[in-house]
Structure 1
Amino acid sequence: MITKSFKEYNSIEGSVVTVGTFDGIHIGHQDILCKLQEISNKKKLKSIVLSFFPHPKIVLQNSKNIKLINTIDEKVEILKKYNIDYFIIKEFTKEFSRLTALEFIRDILVNTLNAKHLIVGYDHRFGRNRDANIIQLREFGEIYDFEVTEILPRKINDISISSTKIRDLLKEGNIDYVNKYLNEYFVLTGKVVKGMGRGKLLGFPTANVKIKGEYKLIPNNGVYIVASSIDSETYYGMMNIGKNPTFTDKNQSIEIHFFDLDYDIYDKNITIKLIKRIRDEKKFNSPELLREQLELDRDFTSKYLEENEIEIK
């Protein structure tokens, strides 16, 4: 259940709760969610993920330049895999940020959610100015009769996995490591819209996509191998993110050339999984040279999908 209201939780006899923004739901977050479900089942308590929107940095830094790995809808789809009982999206405001650690624990976790067990990451901080940590949390647990489980950091090659690290990798276009840290393919969701029609003239018709989510982080410009879901069917192809420098466009666009698809898909919702980055976006001296490069990209993509036996549902 997804909700933005706390009212219906007063009747819950007890819950296991985790708190955080969970941007990306990377492998470290996944450890938390698995432990949440494990303890929930063991103690026969409801499992609750308490998250916030907008992201606290957007509110407190008053900046729209902060971009996020997931939209709310994308996050919901991931959480479905963990059979979470309740996903609460609390509006994050400056007023809410002024709650002290005591007020947050007492009024939200204990009196509202009736938390009996709290699962947190190793670096979890809470309360006004994030001034309370795991030590204070355990002290509150003794006062308000709830247990605390701390989840240690996940590392790959001695690198601690974090949402900040993944955002940096996306800005670089390093989709290989992004997918490794997420333990699944990075996703873009949007709607197919009309484009300029240049791809069709080149022999590579494309679907232009308008991405959903005001704060969604778009990976670095370049050409990517993708698998896209439209009307519950999966189609493979190659996607370009960029400004089409060969044609001197000024605005960023996202275009996908599918290998086997009827292109009458305007206004369709689309979910795009990024499998691999092929190359940087390039400016060519003529449309013909661009077409030749697209043929090479198509051959590489087809070979890569076949050799790696990639099958996405």
Structure 2
Amino acid sequence: MKILNKIEINQRSIVTIGTFDGVHIGHQKIISRLVNTAKQEGLKSAILTFFPHPRMVLQKDANIKLINTIDERYTILESLGLDYLLIKKFTKEFSRMGAEDFVKDILVDKLHAKKIIIGYDHRFGRNRNANIDDLKRFGDQYGFEVEEISAQDIDEVAVSSTKIRNALNEGDIIKANAYLGYNFMLNGTVVKGRKLGKQLGFPTANVHIKEDYKLIPKQGAYIVSSRIEGVLVYGMMNIGVNPTVSGERLSIEVHFINFNKDIYNKNIRIELLQRLRDEQKFESVEMLTTQLVEDKKALLSYISNKDNN
């Protein structure tokens, strides 16, 4: 897959348009249709997406949280067999582009689109004043076909996105992963912390996520995995403020088992597998340590059951 910030393809293409946050099972169904149709008709498959998210630009006060960072979205899309991922920088100026100018200048002249796969409720152009009927009319005028994604399929996409966000906000990782079709992930850099975990016998990697728009699941303890230097390692992660030891700022800390390499300043990907419990304020550090021992037992049981299945 080629990732292009310059919106231009010098080959005949089939295009779909959208933000594709989450790239979940509903999105994957649409992308599979795109890729298969491209192969059948001798076209290049392309997704035209926008970043920053339009709501980030047009609604400055919108507290929008996304399931994927833009880099995570790249990685997931790359696994789906696309030829091109085109990222159009979304600006206020671009939002004022008229519908026909968008079709002619971008879809026709720059992407050489011979087919557009798009939702029945898709709106585009300045003030979102054009719809799929307008797109079909432009298709007749400029020589491309419009394939409509049904209401049922679009509803599936919308429902999936809502359910994923709700599940993550509730800490229901199993449900979120089922809708995603892969494990929800957090990507960040390992930074130095207060080293309190090490004092308790549970040294942790403190993970800093630079993208403030990334959706962080409900505070609590989770079973996670990560592939570090090619080796799959499991761990238990806490998202929270560490109330037992007078923590104040939200932190993401992972204790990896059977792992003792120095990974400071390294970028790691953490996949969330199962929730263990809510974050708690314990009456003493000793009680916290006792709970961490129980969490580790639950983690080892999870790994054992996974290995036996």
Q: Which TM-score applies when normalising by structure 2?
A: 0.93
Q: CA deviation at 1:24?
A: 0.7
> Higher mean Cα deviation, 217-226 or 160-169?
160-169
Q: 1:65 aligns with which of 63, 66, 73?
A: 63
Aligned to 1:97: 95
Q: Which string of whole-angstrom CA distances, capped at 9 and with x for unpartnered residues, describes residues 10-69 of structure 1?
A: x32x10111111111111111111011011111111111111110000001013631111
Aligned to 1:4: 5
For 1:240 and 1:122, the matched residues in 2 are separated by: 42
Counterpart of 2:96, as a letter, is R
Q: What is the 5 A alignment of 1:129-140?
A: 129-140=127-138
For 1:89 and 1:197, the matched residues in 2 are separated by: 40
Instruction: Work out whether residues 16 and 117 of structure 2, in 8 Å CA contact, stay in contact via their aligned partners in 1.
Output: yes
Counterpart of 2:29, as a letter, is D
Q: 1:188 aligns with which of 171, 186, 189?
A: 186
Instruction: Work out whether residues 161 and 181 of structure 1, in 8 Å CA contact, stay in contact via their aligned partners in 2.
Output: no
The total of aligned residue pairs comes to 307
Q: CA deviation at 1:155?
A: 9.1
Aligned to 1:242: 240
Q: Which string of whole-angstrom CA distances, capped at 9 and with x for unpartnered residues, describes residues 58-115 of structure 1?
A: 0010136311111121111111112211111111011111122222112211121110
For 1:276 and 1:169, the matched residues in 2 are separated by: 12
Q: CA deviation at 1:308?
A: 3.6
> Higher mean Cα deviation, 298-307 or 121-130?
121-130
For 1:310 and 1:227, the matched residues in 2 are separated by: 17
Q: CA deviation at 1:146?
A: 1.4
Instruction: Work out whether residues 32 and 121 of structure 1, in 8 Å CA contact, stay in contact via their aligned partners in 2.
Output: no
1:161 aligns to what SS in structure 2?
Answer: helix
> Higher mean Cα deviation, 193-202 or 142-151?
142-151
Q: CA deviation at 1:309?
A: 3.8
Aligned to 2:16: 18
Instruction: Work out whether residues 191 and 270 of structure 1, in 8 Å CA contact, stay in contact via their aligned partners in 2.
Output: yes
Identity over aligned residues, as a percent?
53
1:82 aligns to what SS in structure 2?
Answer: coil
Q: 2:214 aligns with which of 213, 216, 223?
A: 216
Q: Classify 1:123/1:184 alpha carbon distance in 2 versus 1 (closer, same or farther; 3 Å).
A: farther
Q: CA deviation at 1:200?
A: 1.3
Aligned to 2:28: 30
Counterpart of 1:3, as a letter, is L
For 2:186 and 2:300, the matched residues in 1 are separated by: 21
Instruction: Work out whether residues 15 and 117 of structure 1, in 8 Å CA contact, stay in contact via their aligned partners in 2.
Output: yes
Q: Which string of whole-angstrom CA distances, capped at 9 and with x for unpartnered residues, describes residues 129-187 of structure 1?
A: 2233333322222222212222344599x895343442233222221221111110001
Instruction: Work out whether residues 230 and 269 of structure 1, in 8 Å CA contact, stay in contact via their aligned partners in 2.
Output: no
Structure 2 residue runs without a partner (length 5+): none
For 1:181 and 1:134, the matched residues in 2 are separated by: 27
For 1:299 and 1:123, the matched residues in 2 are separated by: 49
Q: 2:225 aligns with which of 224, 227, 246?
A: 227
Structure 1 residue runs without a partner (length 5+): none
* CA-atom RMSD in angstroms: 2.1
Q: What is the 5 A alignment of 1:126-165?
A: 126-152=124-150, 153-154=152-153, 161-165=159-163
